Structure 1
Amino acid sequence: MNESPPSLSPAQLKVLHKLFPGEDLLIHPADTLAYSYDNSQRQSLPAAVLFPREEEQIQALLEHCNEWQLPLACRGRGTGTTGASIPPAGGLALSLERMQRILEIDPANRLARVQPGVTNHELQQAAAREGFFWPPDPTSAAVCTVGGNLACNAAGPRAVKYGTCRENTLGLHAVSGSGALLRTGVRTTKGVVGYDLTRLIVGSEGTLAIITEATLKLTPLPEARRTLQATYKDVHSAAAAVSAIMAQPVIPSALEFMDAQALAMVRSYSDPGIAEGAGALLMIELEENAVAIDAAAARLATVAGNEGCIDVAIASSQEQVQALWRTRKSLSPALRNVAPRKINEDVVVPVSHIPRLIDGLTRLADKHHITIVNFGHAGNGNIHVNLLIDPDDPAQMKAADACLDEVFDLVLGLGGTLSGEHGIGLVKREFVSREIDNPTLGLMRQIKDVFDPRNLLNPGKTLP
């Protein structure tokens, strides 16, 4: 056996080895290193990494952690960008990746029951075999876990029509910080008995309870899909189109936005076939029944073709669909080409305020001499603000901090919120008090105390 880090006593190690035998316990720093960071690029080495397979193991572990006053953080595949899954220094990392069973797909009642380590992609494949899907579809869907999606209420483009994790989760099994096994929610789409603890735990970033099982609401797969791409002379014209699209009865399943800076980045990386004069772009995806799809697409094309619109294209084949999406999919590699690091914030403003947000961000970019690229889910005002920086340039890093501070003030001044789907974690924690007043934060801290009286679950995250 490898020597244990000094924060774990031999007696504690003996208990952990019994509870997590064989390969389900890692204690050597060379092994635990991979679980010390996530996509936020922050890092903290845990004393041990544990891989539960059953919820009873988690319940027993929490009982011991309360006795030892030993903190822990749970994680899926580490795709989060806010540091929410970073383990407490000298504490435990609880990786749920081996709780990966799909327990039930129930087409008759349009639901699925899964363990938290099931990936979003695995769930989608299982549901699709029965003619259904689970609406949350974050960019990292191929590898991110359902538990991680629920922890930060990750959603993705489809949220504009189908809602987020909160709207698509019926119930949970979870273990509180005190070790209590909780059952929340229902198996039905209606139910008002007791407080809605399901929606409270979803999005709490593992600070209230550890999710061990989820009952999820499934949606029938659409019969037909159409993809549209609209280009505009400026962001104001594009934003006016977004407002008009969201005000009519045909709701798109995705409504994605790219500003002029994003289009310029893509042009520097590849030829997207976008007119040089384009100052903004909308990608519009529509899902309907086969009979209505063409009329619905034509209606959306008409609404999108407002004053300032340069062109609206409707794909009529899969090849054309891929060609239209090429611009959006070229953006991430283009950003990596331009700057060694990006700070990616997922702010949200009312849809009608998108032009004011982009104008404000342009002013901040000029003021702080930082390139800012904006894209995201325009249908619900969820814009991904990307500050492109060189981490080896101290002056630029200092400017980025000052710029980010003003970005958040801008967003809140427009009636927006600091995060739409990435969560708070460590990265945004100290900005939360700008959005939430002291009485409300006090109530949230009391709720945290009830669920986790010894502050063992993901301490130092989410609340300032």
Structure 2
Amino acid sequence: MLPVNLITELQQAFPSDRFYTDPVDCYSYAYDNSRKIFPPDAVLFPLTTQEVCHIISLCNRYHVPIIPRGRGTGTAGGSLPEFGGIALSMERMLNIISVDPANRVIVAEPGVLNQTVQDAAKPHGFFWPPDPSSAHFSSIGGNIATSAGGPHAVKYGTTREHVLGLKAVTGTGDLITTGCYTTKGVVGYDLTRLLIGSEGTLAVITEATLKLTALPVTVTGITAHFSDLSSCTKAIVNVMALPQLPSALEFLDAGSLNLIRGRYPDMLPLNTHAMLMIEVDGFSEDITSSIAATLDACHTDGLIHAQQANDTTALWQARKALSPLLKEIAPKKINEDVVVPVDTLPQFLKGLTSLSAHYNLHNVNFGHAGNGNIHVNLLINPDDVEEVARAERCLDEIFDLVIKLRGTLSGEHGIGSEKRAFVSKEIDSVTLNLMRNIKKLFDPNDILNPGKLFPP
């Protein structure tokens, strides 16, 4: 329950269509793509940075939790109001403040969709590289909060590499400005990169200066089909060792391919048990040599065939449909986005196969193999208590394997509430305590997205 005085002050500052208190109205903001439900006590829709400052100042005074939120596409429970409080929806801060081709910059508010940024940049010959599968309906604020990636991160990097500066409001209601407008700048601590990926626990982003990249002149695709997983993973290592870096390198295992066959029966050969979707971009004169080198790198013992595919639209649609397809066939999936060094992928995927067999679990794996970023999906029946327990033990061992291989627990989804119990596997206690102290400096009363990121 919110304090009565806080409700009164907010009602004086915001019209009823931007301040929800009815539980029915608030319910749409009780969940994200993690499928867990925690209803907020209220929802606020700010339109300006000044309003965000006012809201957070009030919540800080009354010690009321405030949970920043984009479009709710996250899978890690990062925007769940676990302790009640106010869901701060940034979805109505929709202004693109400026498009500056000469400096390769777009300045935008956090509610602007990723796709809207792409549409604004394209007429000038540019794009914004972060490309999560939710790009058509996720906001740049959410992309920044989790340092979102996507298929093209193998060449262009994640969100962290494409933000020059931010305006944000701390847990005390103070406005801070980080970074600069130029691609070079070394004045002071790099607070921009600190805020990116902090999942709304340090400050609420209200404006972002985004660094644009020139659209490639030519883009072409390669598909490679393999008879076994081992040959496929060897090809991944070979491709990533080339000087010609692919712009995307996606891996699909046998389970993923069977899902696609179920929806698109004639798309894939039946003898394909692992597959790579590779994209190469650049100047036209360089593409020919890049394709030849990539095709040669795919020639491992189990290669069935590899070929250039100038139109990979259907395949990319099928790849992006994998997560929704998994939800259709399984009552529940444990979906992880772990990352391991590329040269350890053969060892990691072999270990995954062994662990899923040991725990008698159905496992589907796909993902951004060029970064070593594999989406591990354990498909379980949530009503089967024994199977759920097996899955939890299996997941624990999967994370141990990731850390053993010098990997990381999350490449793009973030920690939120789903992975926080495992964070101490990767980060030592001294470093965790330093992070907690940084949180206290930004948010002394722990009102910003409390309970996220850190293990209990």
Same fold at TM > 0.5 = yes
SS in 2 for 1:129: helix
Q: In the alignment, is residue 280 of structure 1 matched against residue 271 of structure 2?
A: no
How big is the alpha-carbon RMSD for the aligned residues of Structure 1 and Structure 2?
1.5
Look up the equivalent residue of 1:240 and give its one-letter code: K
Shift of 1:329: 4.5
Shift of 1:159: 0.6
CA distance in structure 2 between the partners assigned to 1:163 and 1:459 by the alignment: 29
Shift of 1:234: 2.1
- Which of 341, 365, 369 aligns to 2:356? It is 365
- Which of 393, 398, 417 aligns to 1:402? It is 393
Task: Tell me the equivalent position of 1:173.
Answer: 167
Task: Tell me the equivalent position of 2:27.
Answer: 33
5+ residue gaps, structure 1: 1-6
CA distance in structure 2 between the partners assigned to 1:337 and 1:327 by the alignment: 14
5+ residue gaps, structure 2: none
Task: Tell me the equivalent position of 1:460.
Answer: 451
Q: Closer, same or farther in 2 for the Cα pair 1:423/1:332, shift >3 Å? A: closer
CA distance in structure 2 between the partners assigned to 1:326 and 1:70 by the alignment: 43
CA distance in structure 1 between the partners assigned to 2:212 and 2:266 by the alignment: 35
CA distance in structure 2 between the partners assigned to 1:47 and 1:323 by the alignment: 43
Deviating more after overlay: 381-390 vs 297-306: 297-306
Task: Tell me the equivalent position of 1:184.
Answer: 178
Look up the equivalent residue of 1:381 and give its one-letter code: G
Show the 5 A alignment for 1:142-221. 142-221=136-215
- Which of 215, 231, 248 aligns to 1:254? It is 248
Task: Tell me the equivalent position of 1:305.
Answer: 299
Shift of 1:400: 1.7
CA distance in structure 2 between the partners assigned to 1:65 and 1:327 by the alignment: 44
Q: In the alignment, is residue 21 of structure 1 matched against residue 15 of structure 2?
A: yes
CA distance in structure 2 between the partners assigned to 1:330 and 1:29 by the alignment: 33
Contact 2:3/2:62 (8 A) holds in 1: no
Contact 2:231/2:302 (8 A) holds in 1: yes
Task: Tell me the equivalent position of 1:10.
Answer: 4
Task: Tell me the equivalent position of 2:374.
Answer: 383
Shift of 1:179: 1.4
Contact 2:133/2:320 (8 A) holds in 1: no
Alpha-carbon deviations, 1:79-127, whole Å to 9, x = none?
A: 0011110124331100000011111111000011000000101111111
Show the 5 A alignment for 1:121-140. 121-140=115-134
Look up the equivalent residue of 1:145 and give its one-letter code: S
CA distance in structure 1 between the partners assigned to 2:170 and 2:317 by the alignment: 44
Q: Closer, same or farther in 2 for the Cα pair 1:22/1:273, shift >3 Å? A: closer
Task: Tell me the equivalent position of 1:49.
Answer: 43
Contact 2:56/2:66 (8 A) holds in 1: no
Task: Tell me the equivalent position of 1:435.
Answer: 426
TM-score by length of 2: 0.96
Shift of 1:443: 0.6
Q: In the alignment, is residue 339 of structure 1 matched against residue 327 of structure 2?
A: no
SS in 2 for 1:384: strand
Contact 2:250/2:276 (8 A) holds in 1: yes
Look up the equivalent residue of 1:356 and give its one-letter code: Q
Contact 1:348/1:380 (8 A) holds in 2: yes
Show the 5 A alignment for 1:419-434. 419-434=410-425
Task: Tell me the equivalent position of 1:78.
Answer: 72
SS in 2 for 1:121: helix
- Which of 216, 219, 224 aligns to 1:222? It is 216
Q: Closer, same or farther in 2 for the Cα pair 1:118/1:325, shift >3 Å? A: closer
SS in 1 for 2:406: coil
CA distance in structure 1 between the partners assigned to 2:266 and 2:356 by the alignment: 25
Alpha-carbon deviations, 1:147-205, whole Å to 9, x = none?
A: 00000111101110011111111000000111111100011111111110000000000
TM-score by length of 1: 0.95
Alpha-carbon deviations, 1:311-353, whole Å to 9, x = none?
A: 112123x3xx234446534534542343122111000001111
Q: In the alignment, is residue 293 of structure 1 matched against residue 287 of structure 2?
A: yes
- Which of 434, 438, 442 aligns to 1:451? It is 442
CA distance in structure 2 between the partners assigned to 1:452 and 1:88 by the alignment: 18
Alpha-carbon deviations, 1:35-89, whole Å to 9, x = none?
A: 0111111121111100000011111112111210111110001000111101243
